[in-house]
Amino acid sequence: VQLQASGGGLVQAGDSLRLSCGASGRPESPGILAWFRQAPGEERKFVAAVRWPTSRSYYADSVKGRFTVSRDNSKNELNLQMTSLKPEDTAVYYCAKRLHWAVDYYNPGQYSIWGQGTLVTVSS
């Protein structure tokens, strides 16, 4: 399975942006698709995740109410709709996949499959 993230770019504060992550191969067991982000000099941090097949979503407090994560089963794609972007949202965004549920889904160490990252820059 490989992941390919896209959709990053330079936007202004308050703008919206949509990230996509295409996955090759269908998931073979229940698991998690997630977005993480990493700002310069910082650790990789959890942003949002969707669990399948339940489609339940999870969010970091910092993005709750502004970001929406979704999975398009027909395209085998994970999306992240970001609104009301802030300069502190600037980071490289990574999609990740884990086969099988983990209660600490917010821990990047739980994921073994990663996309290459896409840069989001929000100017003030």
Neighbours of 45 (CB within 10 A): 14
Confidence of residue 100 (pLDDT cuts 50, 70, 90): confident
Distances from the Cα of 87 to the Cα of 40, 58, 64, 94, 122, angstroms:
13, 22, 16, 18, 5
What average pLDDT does range 112-117 have in this prediction? 92
The model's pLDDT over 22-52, given as tens digits with 9 standing for 90+, comes to 877 665 557 899 999 999 999 999 999 999 8
Distances from the Cα of 114 to the Cα of 50, 65, 87, 103, 120, angstroms:
15, 25, 25, 19, 17
The model's pLDDT over 50-97, given as tens digits with 9 standing for 90+, comes to 998 888 999 999 999 999 999 887 888 899 999 999 999 999 999 999
